[in-house]
Amino acid sequence: MSFVVLFEAGLWLVGVGPDDTLFVASDSSYRINPQAARRFFPRQYVRLAPGQDRFARDKDARTFRVFALGASTLLGFPNPAYTSFPNFLQQMLADAYPAREIEVVNCGVTAINSFVVREFVEEVVEHEPDLVLIYAGHNEFVGPYGAATPFVRLSGNWYFIQLQMFLQRTKTYYLLDSLLHYVVAVLRPAAPAESFGVHLVQREIYLEDEAHRQTEA
């Protein structure tokens, strides 16, 4: 066990793997880390956090800070990102409270569910939010660790899921996953990566099942 701990510490010291915290510091502000949701998905289906919102590293008394968490609908999907409700909320609060500095940070990532949101909330509360909005529930079955997820799922037991999520944050897990990915890439001919949506249709939705025939009737 001590060897594993020392090995993990060594990997952290040499900077193995990307930073997967929700926010990264940039000058006098924080911004969304595009790699924040990386650890929750297999490599071919990694979802980037597209948010461009920034918020001050030092919050002053005039600031009203809002964090919004959720999946693709929080990003405005299927419409352009500027149609997302956090954008409208930013303008509405600025109009209603002109004397305040309004910060609305959209932390949306496509295909995530409440398991991921819960992890993100633990980081959000460290940045002095005045309001946290959660707009979720769309991907509970097929998202990471969900009952019908197409991804690796060790167990439906909540404690096993928490253990899996903990291990996925370690540098040792990242290194082993990278080595496995490399070996598979060498042994198996490269194939075009299919999208997450196409994967669900091809692997999880069977066109000949009874439910599909009823919808076609």
Given this model, what pLDDT does residue 165 score? 84
Task: Answer whether residue 92 shows pLDDT above 70.
Answer: yes
Q: pLDDT tens digit string along 58-87?
A: 999 999 999 999 999 999 888 888 889 999
Please state, in angstroms and rounded to a whole number, the distance separating the CA atoms of residues 18 and 2.
24
Answer whether residue 4 is part of any domain.
Answer: no
Q: pLDDT tens digit string along 16-63?
A: 777 889 999 988 999 999 999 888 888 777 788 888 899 999 999 999
Q: pLDDT tens digit string along 113-146?
A: 999 999 999 999 999 999 999 999 888 888 888 8
**Average pLDDT score over residue span 173-192:** 75
Task: Answer whether residue 205 shows pLDDT above 90.
Answer: no
Q: pLDDT tens digit string along 144-180?
A: 888 878 766 666 788 888 888 888 888 888 888 878 8
Geometric angle at alpha carbon 73, from 35 and 98, rounded to 5°: 90
Three-state secondary-structure class, residue 136:
coil
How sure is the predictor about 190, in pLDDT bands with cuts at 50, 70 and 90?
Answer: low
Please state, in angstroms and rounded to a whole number, the distance separating the CA atoms of residues 150 and 87.
32
Answer whether residue 7 is part of any domain.
Answer: no
Answer whether residue 154 is part of any domain.
Answer: yes
How sure is the predictor about 186, in pLDDT bands with cuts at 50, 70 and 90?
Answer: confident
Given this model, what pLDDT does residue 86 score? 95
Three-state secondary-structure class, residue 30:
strand
Backbone angles phi, psi at 17, to 5 degrees: 80, 160
Tally of structural domains, the chain: 1
Given this model, what pLDDT does residue 123 score? 96
**More reliable by pLDDT, 66 or 216:** 66
Answer whether residue 212 is part of any domain.
Answer: no
Answer whether residue 211 is part of any domain.
Answer: no
Alpha carbon dihedral 144, 149, 108, 196, in 10-degree steps, equals 120
Given this model, what pLDDT does residue 191 score? 57
Which structural domain range is residue 166 located in? 13-206
Answer whether residue 115 is part of any domain.
Answer: yes
Answer whether residue 152 is part of any domain.
Answer: yes
Answer whether residue 172 is part of any domain.
Answer: yes
Given this model, what pLDDT does residue 162 score? 86
Backbone angles phi, psi at 144, to 5 degrees: -55, 130
